[in-house]
Structure 1
Amino acid sequence: MAPPTLLLAVRGSEGLYMLTGPPHFTENIAFQRDSGRNCKVFSFSKDGSLFAWCNGEQINVVNVTSNKLLHSFDLPKTVCLEFSPQGNVLATWQPYTTAKDGAAGLPNLQVLDVKTGKCLKSFIQKKMQNWCPCWSDDESICARSVNNELHFFENNDFSTIANKLHLQKISDFVISPGDQPSKVAVYVPGSKGAPSFVRLYQYPVFGGPQAALANKSFFKADKVTLLWNSKATAVLVIASTEVDKTGASYYGEQTLHYIATNGESAVVQLPKNGPIYDAVWNPNSTEFCVVYGFMPAKATIFNLKCDPVFDFGTGPHNSAYYSPQGHILVLAGFGNLSGQLDVWDVKNYKLISKPQASDSTYFAWCPDGEHIVTATCSPRLRVGNGYKVWHYTGSVLYKYEVQPNAELWQVAWQPCLDGTFPAKSVTYHTVPSKVPNDEPKAAQAYRPPALRNKPVTSSKLHENEPPQNMRPQSKGGDKPLSKTALKNQKKHEAKKVAKQEARAEGPQEIAPSSPVLNAVHTVTPSVTSGDPEVDKKIKNLKKKLKAIEQLKDQAATGKQLEKNQLEKIQKEAALLKELEDLELGI
């Protein structure tokens, strides 16, 4: 059976319409364009069969295949729409208002039956944040957060509350994806010196202190982001504070925690200091990618043991996007970055392409795992509004720019169920296209007139780190080394390097009173580079490495090290590499 033809919905001041494609894009005439300027929101159902939108007068629900109007609802002020996973229910939200005399306002959250068009239930939901009820994938349960409680409804029967989970000051929750039994991750912020915590429960077992499948407590968390993997076996928790009390970051402070349903938990150790911009699960649920650290940021893939598997090095990135099939990863830099896209084959860890999508405010994979849409939308950016459809090899296949004085507000692919588009083999050859890519070339750095006729020096503000495979390999094959064997191998290689350096530099006398250093940091003659700054860096690096060796000796004797001391030890490899590069230049 051939895969279905996909749609791309577009909403802006020019109206609401749909395009068919890829690879060729034309307006879908079967869907009658809504040319009004007041279209506030639209939404597809999870399987892509239903489409709903509010045009400022009413909500319309259509069947995408037949384009038949199923229902219209008189809710003109609706600004949020969402279908339940099976498409049986449509949830709508309007801003909450009170009467002039101070009386309570009318319910503003409506739960509508898509088949009959009847309102199943109305609720008062004052805040837009977390406005939508949360369903399990089979819609057997639905939950809302109400006054320190989670209220659970079963089989879309909203007349009675089937179960309750009471925890003081519940701030956020997420129901796991996938089949039964459903699990619930809940977050409770800390107060009065008590830590924040995230707990995992299996519905409906909520009672008793041992009911939780897993529990993770931590400090420094004003808010969290909860990310289930697709198999519902683990959750990533990005904990954020509004203010970094150390003053190191304007954006507050973030930490990343891993919690599994079998009770295991860990803090994901990130080797570079700075904010966590993004964390995303691979759809195969066996690994996740994190983008973190002060610019240029690092991006690293971790396995389920929270061990690094592959480091993409540093670059202008602040977000990551796996393809729906999980075989391609895009590292992107949007917002205040230039819009560079690094497209990687994550099976072979090979770079496919590096297109430039300047001024993009939106990015989304097509369900086919081959095409990408990027868009510049208002109000984030009010000039240059438009969208482009790319092939992952870097070709622009379709481009549209709105007319002057017009705005683009939203674009979205029609969703498809998992398995509709199987993964295809990755190609590294750029797909041909008739659409010119008019991305502006990177501007050259300013050079004063006195230097314009002289050779360009290769000085950089930041030295980008190259990609690195972090999975250790044995000499005899692909089987990873054990921790002990890996440690012995590193010691052996360090001694070998030290002996080679000693032979190359000739014999030297060590004063009787001088301490004998570890072989990694063998005392070498004081060879200068002629540049005081370089000599100073080399001296400081050796000092840091010596301190790391002392910490490692303390750990070997059984002493419990502090967190900052462990972080110093993790930086040893980077310091050794930096020292080697500096000494090679002498």
Structure 2
Amino acid sequence: MAPPIPLLAVCGSDGTSLLRGPPQCELDSSFQRDSRPSRCLTFSRDGTLFGWCNGHSVSVLRCADGSAVSTLNLPKTNLLEFSPLNNILVTWQPYTKTQDSPQGEANLQLWDLSSGRLIKALYQKKAESWCPSWSEDEKICVRSVNNELHFYENNDFNSIANKLHMQKVSDFALSPGAQPSKVAVYVPGSKGAPSFVRLYQYPVLGGASAALANKSFFKADRVNMQWNQKASAVLVTASTEVDKTGASYYGEQTLHYLAANGETALVQLAKNGPIYDVAWSPNSTEFCVVYGFMPAKATVFNLKCDPVFDFGTGPRNAAYYSPQGHILVLAGFGNLRGQMEVWDVKKYKQVSKPQAPDATYFSWCPDGEHIVTATCSPRLRVSNGYKIWHYTGTVLHKQDAAAGSELWKVHWQPFPEGSFPERPIKYQAAPSELGTTEAAPIQAYRPPALRHLPATPSSKLHEDEPPQDLRPGLSGEKSLSKSALKNQRKREAKKAAKQETKPDPEPACLPAPVSNSQSEACSGDAETDKKIKNLKKKLKAIEELKEQQASGKVLQKNQLEKIQKEEQLLKELQELQIK
């Protein structure tokens, strides 16, 4: 049986539409395009339902045939989410107070999808962490309320089945997968006490003695907690708003590891600087960290927090594993140029290096073969549009927003695990009329006076670090330590420099061509050589002035007069060299 073809939902100022996925990328015939602007859309976790709000109502339909499931009169809805088994639709609208309702209206609403009945209306002032978290079987639902975690069972929201109360519980993360459910909770430090994260297994909650694991740390204004898919471990990125050393305006970040078996560790990173991204592999046994001052490093670690593979340095700030876990994309978006590095994770071999400038969004297609990049508003209000790629670097489909329109969001239809099998990785670019966007190699700038000379290793602004396979038992350069590789590169650079500066065994005095470079020529007459040297010095100064003028600098009157004398000086130099 052939695997299904995913849908891609697209919404913006000119409406909402569904595309039937790659490689055709055509409008889905079962969905009647909604021309009203919509900022809010989502798919159910299994991809069978699609919901969106167009400013008039919230609509839910079946993806298979486009038939309507429910329509709710909720024009102010900003956020939507389905429960894991599609029993409940959660809607959120901004919290407001009125004269008639000084306490405000309950703005978080839970709806029964089969009947359209309102199950429960709750207060949720902030959009951050707005949605309750369900276990995969919907037997447990968790919500943070006033520094407490409230647990509900079997979607009964009229009674709280359990509570976890600690001083100032600031954040939590419920584990994915089957029962038993686990929860990671974060309590920020105060009055000199450290912050900490604890893991609990429901329903045994509360107190350090009941915790599966406990990790305390300083320097944390906020945390980001990520479970792996098997719910065996959590990665905690702790961040401060301000770096007190003044080294970075990103603040300070540290990465901590907590396992359900009680093991904890601080992940040691090989370069100072911010932690830009942390991503678990879908196999739950490895994770990738992108970190360090630019050019940033990227390293894969195992569950012992030992480095497995170092991708070297490059312009990157994000990491994305394919749904099957066999491909990893390292990318530099935001204030970087949009360079993507596509890696075969099993062989640790680079597949392609495409470029998506101005991209503000990236997402893998569930098939593990295609990706989408988009430039969305309000992050960027110009050049809005999206591209669908094959991972080999080929652009298969490109759509720019119409003039005067904005693109707000694109979203792939998800599928249950196992819907798309892992396919062998290809290294040859997939055919496409739009071609590839492989970036041309960038050469370091060299002044005109040095361009005729051989390049030297010192002409680089910084020394890029090459990838290193850190797995044990490898031979050759890959098995060398970081310091050994660095020393080896220094020796090779010194050797190359000596070879370039080695004099010829039989130097000859040849007439120099007409040039304004600094290469020396000998005429046999000391006075003539002196005049030639002075002329070349003047021509070099003129060349520098012309470069300054081209870069936009306003020159003085005497500098402009010097430039006007270039032709005369070149003529004099030619006459002296002919003699």
Contact 2:444–2:460, Cα closer than 8 Å, also in 1: no
CA deviations 1:502-541 (Å, max 9, x no partner) are xxxxxxxxxxxxxxxxxxxxxxxxxxxxxxxxxxxxxxxx
CA distance in structure 1 between the partners assigned to 2:324 and 2:39 by the alignment: 31
Equivalent residue runs for 1:390-429 within 5 Å: 390-429=389-428
Corresponding position of 1:183: 182
CA distance in structure 1 between the partners assigned to 2:32 and 2:329 by the alignment: 34
CA deviations 1:23-61 (Å, max 9, x no partner) are 211111210000012x12000001100011000011001
Tell me, what secondary structure is at the counterpart of 1:210? helix
Corresponding position of 1:473: 473
Contact 1:354–1:394, Cα closer than 8 Å, also in 2: yes
The letter for the 1-side match of 2:200 is: Y
Specify every segment of 5 or more residues in structure 2 that has no aligned partner in the other structure, as ranges: 499-579
Matched, 1:22 2:26: no
CA deviations 1:526-559 (Å, max 9, x no partner) are xxxxxxxxxxxxxxxxxxxxxxxxxxxxxxxxxx
Corresponding position of 1:171: 170
Matched, 1:229 2:235: no
CA distance in structure 1 between the partners assigned to 2:205 and 2:180 by the alignment: 14
CA distance in structure 1 between the partners assigned to 2:181 and 2:417 by the alignment: 19
Corresponding position of 1:67: 66
Contact 2:353–2:439, Cα closer than 8 Å, also in 1: no
Greater shift in the superposed pair: 338-347 or 93-102:
93-102
Corresponding position of 2:372: 373
The letter for the 2-side match of 1:425 is: P
CA distance in structure 2 between the partners assigned to 1:62 and 1:471 by the alignment: 49
The letter for the 1-side match of 2:165 is: H
CA distance in structure 1 between the partners assigned to 2:266 and 2:452 by the alignment: 53
Corresponding position of 2:109: 110
CA deviations 1:100-133 (Å, max 9, x no partner) are 4781101000011111111111101011111110
What is the aligned residue count?
495
Shift of 1:472: 1.6
CA distance in structure 2 between the partners assigned to 1:427 and 1:204 by the alignment: 47
Contact 1:271–1:571, Cα closer than 8 Å, also in 2: no
Matched, 1:47 2:56: no
Shift of 1:576: 4.0
Tell me, what secondary structure is at the counterpart of 1:379? coil
Corresponding position of 2:191: 192
Contact 1:182–1:203, Cα closer than 8 Å, also in 2: yes
CA distance in structure 2 between the partners assigned to 1:229 and 1:130 by the alignment: 19
CA distance in structure 1 between the partners assigned to 2:54 and 2:438 by the alignment: 34
Corresponding position of 1:541: none
The letter for the 1-side match of 2:25 is: F
CA distance in structure 1 between the partners assigned to 2:322 and 2:482 by the alignment: 32
For residues 84 and 571 of structure 1, do their structure 2 counterparts lie closer, same or farther at Cα, with a shift above 3 Å needed? same
For residues 33 and 261 of structure 1, do their structure 2 counterparts lie closer, same or farther at Cα, with a shift above 3 Å needed? same
Shift of 1:209: 3.7
Corresponding position of 1:555: none
Corresponding position of 2:123: 124
For residues 573 and 199 of structure 1, do their structure 2 counterparts lie closer, same or farther at Cα, with a shift above 3 Å needed? farther
CA deviations 1:416-474 (Å, max 9, x no partner) are 01000010111111111112447886787766665667766662212111000011207
Corresponding position of 2:33: 33
For residues 571 and 472 of structure 1, do their structure 2 counterparts lie closer, same or farther at Cα, with a shift above 3 Å needed? closer
The letter for the 1-side match of 2:40 is: V
For residues 474 and 387 of structure 1, do their structure 2 counterparts lie closer, same or farther at Cα, with a shift above 3 Å needed? closer
For residues 147 and 329 of structure 1, do their structure 2 counterparts lie closer, same or farther at Cα, with a shift above 3 Å needed? same
The letter for the 1-side match of 2:3 is: P
Greater shift in the superposed pair: 364-373 or 21-30:
21-30
The letter for the 2-side match of 1:20 is: R
Contact 1:89–1:113, Cα closer than 8 Å, also in 2: yes
Specify every segment of 5 or more residues in structure 1 that has no aligned partner in the other structure, as ranges: 476-485, 491-569
The letter for the 2-side match of 1:65 is: A
Shift of 1:254: 0.2
Contact 2:301–2:307, Cα closer than 8 Å, also in 1: yes
Corresponding position of 1:383: 382
Contact 1:374–1:388, Cα closer than 8 Å, also in 2: yes
Corresponding position of 2:551: none
The letter for the 2-side match of 1:272 is: K
Tell me, what secondary structure is at the counterpart of 2:378? coil
For residues 280 and 32 of structure 1, do their structure 2 counterparts lie closer, same or farther at Cα, with a shift above 3 Å needed? same
The letter for the 2-side match of 1:280 is: A
Matched, 1:139 2:141: no
CA distance in structure 2 between the partners assigned to 1:400 and 1:178 by the alignment: 37
The letter for the 2-side match of 1:195 is: P
Shift of 1:5: 1.8
Corresponding position of 1:460: 460
Contact 2:394–2:431, Cα closer than 8 Å, also in 1: yes
Aligned-pair identity (%):
65
Shift of 1:174: 0.7
Is the radius of gyration larger for structure 1 or structure 2?
2
Aligned-pair RMSD on alpha carbons?
Answer: 2.3
Shift of 1:75: 1.0
Corresponding position of 2:550: none
TM-score when scaled to structure 1? Answer: 0.81
Shift of 1:583: 4.9
CA distance in structure 1 between the partners assigned to 2:404 and 2:448 by the alignment: 40
The letter for the 1-side match of 2:434 is: V
Corresponding position of 1:95: 94
CA distance in structure 1 between the partners assigned to 2:9 and 2:471 by the alignment: 42
CA distance in structure 1 between the partners assigned to 2:438 and 2:55 by the alignment: 36
Greater shift in the superposed pair: 458-467 or 96-105:
96-105
CA distance in structure 2 between the partners assigned to 1:382 and 1:82 by the alignment: 26
TM-score when scaled to structure 2? Answer: 0.82
Contact 1:8–1:18, Cα closer than 8 Å, also in 2: yes
CA distance in structure 2 between the partners assigned to 1:118 and 1:429 by the alignment: 53
CA deviations 1:331-370 (Å, max 9, x no partner) are 0000011111100000011000001111100000000000
Tell me, what secondary structure is at the counterpart of 1:387? strand
CA deviations 1:5-38 (Å, max 9, x no partner) are 211110011210011121211111210000012x
Shift of 1:397: 0.7
CA deviations 1:211-234 (Å, max 9, x no partner) are 100000000000000000000000
Corresponding position of 1:299: 298
The letter for the 2-side match of 1:164 is: K
CA distance in structure 2 between the partners assigned to 1:474 and 1:401 by the alignment: 47
CA distance in structure 1 between the partners assigned to 2:389 and 2:43 by the alignment: 22
Matched, 1:215 2:214: yes
CA distance in structure 1 between the partners assigned to 2:443 and 2:424 by the alignment: 37
CA distance in structure 2 between the partners assigned to 1:268 and 1:209 by the alignment: 23
The letter for the 1-side match of 2:84 is: P
CA distance in structure 2 between the partners assigned to 1:101 and 1:311 by the alignment: 61
Corresponding position of 1:332: 331
CA distance in structure 2 between the partners assigned to 1:307 and 1:377 by the alignment: 37
The letter for the 2-side match of 1:374 is: T
The letter for the 1-side match of 2:260 is: T
Greater shift in the superposed pair: 108-117 or 201-210:
201-210
Contact 1:357–1:439, Cα closer than 8 Å, also in 2: no
Contact 2:393–2:438, Cα closer than 8 Å, also in 1: no
CA distance in structure 2 between the partners assigned to 1:110 and 1:351 by the alignment: 47
The letter for the 2-side match of 1:9 is: A
Corresponding position of 2:511: none
CA distance in structure 2 between the partners assigned to 1:76 and 1:443 by the alignment: 51
CA distance in structure 2 between the partners assigned to 1:461 and 1:449 by the alignment: 17
CA distance in structure 1 between the partners assigned to 2:221 and 2:208 by the alignment: 25
The letter for the 2-side match of 1:5 is: I
CA distance in structure 2 between the partners assigned to 1:98 and 1:375 by the alignment: 36
CA distance in structure 2 between the partners assigned to 1:447 and 1:462 by the alignment: 15
For residues 121 and 103 of structure 1, do their structure 2 counterparts lie closer, same or farther at Cα, with a shift above 3 Å needed? same
